[in-house]
Copies of this chain bind each other. A is one copy, B any other.
Amino acid sequence: MSDRRDVVLEATLRVVARSGVDAATHRAVAAEAGVPLASTTYHFTSKSDLVRQALELVIERSTAIVASHAAPPGPEDADELIERLVALAAALASDERAPLTAQYELLLEAGRRAELRPLAERWNEAYLGGLAAMTARAQLRRPELAAEVLSNVIEGGLLNQLALPQAGFVEGSLREQLQAAVEGLGG
């Protein structure tokens, strides 16, 4: 395991976020990483292999973020739940939005290339599972259904935030939306 490999993967993520999966060419990645071209072909058998591993890295990290925010003890009422959700959304959207962009790229690509579907599934399960862990004790009527609704509110909201950024979105509009949803979902 060389660190050169990691450097290349990190660079790939930046390129994907900045210019999309297809812009992640061997040369672009090598230039971004500051390594010679052959480093990208030595450590990764092909371009799609490179991209797939970069996406796996993103999912791994996002999954860790979800896990850490969903760690027990879970929130015990609606207000605590909202705070947790806002914090999670903020964490996912931070990091100069690179991971988030890559994640949405993954979902779109998974719809086309079957090889990426297991990865998309893994993310989905971790994400939904994390939210379900949060809603479990928060006095909601149907915790699993609530997790789905809340995950979509966050996912849709962050996507729009990616396309048309508005200052303070997560702490403002998104929190309001989550509150409105939870109020209804709560007992």
Contacts and interface: CB of A to CB of B under 8 A. Distances in A.
A177 B160 contact: no
A97 B108 CA distance: 12
Interface string A143-187: 001101101111111011011110000000100110011111110
Contacts of A19: 112
* Copies of this chain: 2
Contacts of A182: 184
Given A148-B173, A186-B184, A108 B104 contact: yes
Q: Looking at chain A, what size class is its interface with the partner chain?
A: 35 or more
Given A117-B164, A159-B156, A149 B180 contact: yes
Interface of A: 18-23, 97, 101, 104-112, 117, 120-121, 124, 141-142, 145-146, 148-149, 151-157, 159-160, 162-165, 173, 176-177, 180-186
